[in-house]
Structure formats: structure tokens, C-alpha cells
Amino acid sequence: MPAEPPSIPVTDDPAAPVPAALAVEDLSHGFGKRVALDRVSFAVPPAGFTMLLGLNGAGKTTLFSLITRLYTNRTGAIRIFGFDLRRHPTRALARIGVVFQQPTLDLDLSVRQNMRYHGGLHGMRPSDCEARAMEELERIGLADRADEKVRTLSGGQRRRVEIARALLHRPSLLLLDEPTVGLDVEARRHILHHVRTLCREQGLAVLWATHLMDEAEADDTIVVLHQGRLHAAGTIRSLCAATGTATLPDAFASLTSREVR
């Protein structure tokens, strides 16, 4: 029998003047008899970097599908900056930008066309969309590729376009599902650095799902999801203190009763 993980409080602060960017409360989801999420609760602070840490099959993508309304939650609640996703879906969804695990760009359209299409879905005027697209492409170092077909870009560049596109409508919460998987070290570093800079300089709230623990930093809120259950949430320091360990991989191993790899 694996040991019960130590009880660590979730990070939603009811006294906070600004609602959490994302509050997930008692959320469950299954596929037939398979339970993918089991009564999960946690909160993402209104600004800053939150890492959703979990191995394959933890339930990260299922959670993202519920937050983005690809699936409808039948139990529990999801609130985005205080807006209940079931009661106020339009207002809630307008505040989030999403980079899904699987690439969703049209390879045969140019970068600019992909951005324009996405802006249209958000109801943006073409002139606003154009200006915002160039602003975000500039920021992420791809303005000079705006008129090239996505097919001609590297994997890392395509990911950067997806991040620029997710920010077009100025969301306050950015969700990224395993955004660096399959990329080389340099591309990973570039994307992580860019998103962390956005957090710091634009006050963006980020939920970054990954199994790569070396992407975590000291001030991050780490949410540990394992086999559909929330095992802990807090900074690396608090997770280490609660488990009597010295590193995040050791804390994760202790919390999930797994060997460190």
C-alpha cells in the first residue's frame, strides 16, 4: 500500500482581494468506468506561474479539456476570475488563452492568416487583430516570418506562433499543455523564458502543464496531479518541507510514492 501523501493546503486564498485566475473545485471526470479526475480542487493565483506537474495519464489534458469546455463538467465547479464556467461561459472563456498539447495551426496558411482566423473567432476587428498579431510576433521574435506558411517553420517556431496566437485577445490567464515536449533544449529555453517574462512584465497568470520538473522555479506554485488526484500544491520549498525532502523530484516521488527517475 502506498503511504498517504501529507496533507498540504491548496493555495486559494479566500481573503485575497482579486479572485483566483482559476479556481477548480471538487472536479471529477471519467471516461466510462475509467476515472481521469477524482475530486480535484486547487487555485491558480491571479498573476504568476503555476506548474501543473504530473506524469503521463495524470489527468492534465482532461483538466484542460474541462477548463476550455471541450468537455462539460458534470460535477464540481470551474471559475475563471470569478466567472463560473457553466453559468458565464462567454465571459469566462474570453479571459483565457490556450496552447493545446497537440499543434492546432493550419500548416498551409501563413502565420498571419492563422492569427487572423483566430482573432475573428474572438470577435476582433481585422485592424486590431493585425496590430496585435504583429505586436505578439515581434515580442516572440517571429515578425519576419508572418507571411510564410506555417509548414516552413521549425517545431519550436510553430509553438511560438501558437503562444503569440493565444495572447491575441489579451487574455489574463494563459493555459499551456506540455508546451515544450518534443522541442530541443534551445527552443524549450526560449519558450519558457518568454512565458516567464510575460508573467513578470504583463502580470499574466499562467498554468503550465508538464512532467518536466527542471522547468520549475522557486517562486512557482506547483500543483501535483497523479493518477487523477491532487496530491499537493505549494512552492518547491513547501513541498520539500512537507515531505522532508531536499529537491522537487524527491518531493514528487514522496508525494506520489514513486521512484525518482
Ligand X SMILES: Nc1ncnc2c1ncn2[C@@H]1O[C@H](COP(=O)(O)OP(=O)(O)OP(=O)(O)O)[C@@H](O)[C@H]1O
Point out which residues bind ligand X (CB under 6 A). 31, 34, 36, 54, 56-62
> Whose Cβ is closer to ligand X: residue 5's or residue 59's?
59
Quote the cell numbers at residue 14: 479566500
Segment holding 239, helix H or strand E: helix 236-243
DSSP assignment, residue 95?
Answer: T
Question: Smallest distance from the beta carbon of 226 to ligand X, in angstroms?
Answer: 9
> Whose Cβ is closer to ligand X: residue 58's or residue 176's?
58
Quote the cell numbers at residue 211: 512532467
> Whose Cβ is closer to ligand X: residue 49's or residue 100's?
100
DSSP assignment, residue 74?
Answer: S
- Rounded to 10°, the helix 126-139/111-121 angle is 130
Sheet strands (E) in the chain: 22-31, 34-44, 48-53, 77-80, 83-84, 96-99, 173-177, 205-210, 221-226, 229-234
Quote the cell numbers at residue 132: 496585435
Question: Smallest distance from the beta carbon of 85 to ligand X, in angstroms?
Answer: 18
Question: Smallest distance from the beta carbon of 63 to ligand X, in angstroms?
Answer: 7
> Whose Cβ is closer to ligand X: residue 168's or residue 248's?
248
Question: Smallest distance from the beta carbon of 99 to ligand X, in angstroms?
Answer: 14
Find cell 501563413 and name the residue: 110
Quote the cell numbers at residue 158: 510553430
> Whose Cβ is closer to ligand X: residue 37's or residue 161's?
37
Question: Smallest distance from the beta carbon of 2 to ligand X, in angstroms?
Answer: 18
Residue 154 burial class via C-beta count within 10 angstroms: exposed 0-12, middle 13-18, buried 19 and up:
exposed
Question: Smallest distance from the beta carbon of 221 to ligand X, in angstroms?
Answer: 18
> Whose Cβ is closer to ligand X: residue 38's or residue 135's?
38
**Of 65, 83, 50, 63, whose CA–CA distance to 204 is shortest?**
50
Question: Smallest distance from the beta carbon of 177 to ligand X, in angstroms?
Answer: 7
> Whose Cβ is closer to ligand X: residue 28's or residue 110's?
28
Measured at the alpha carbon of residue 194, what is the angle toward residues 150 and 24, in degrees to the nearest 5? 95
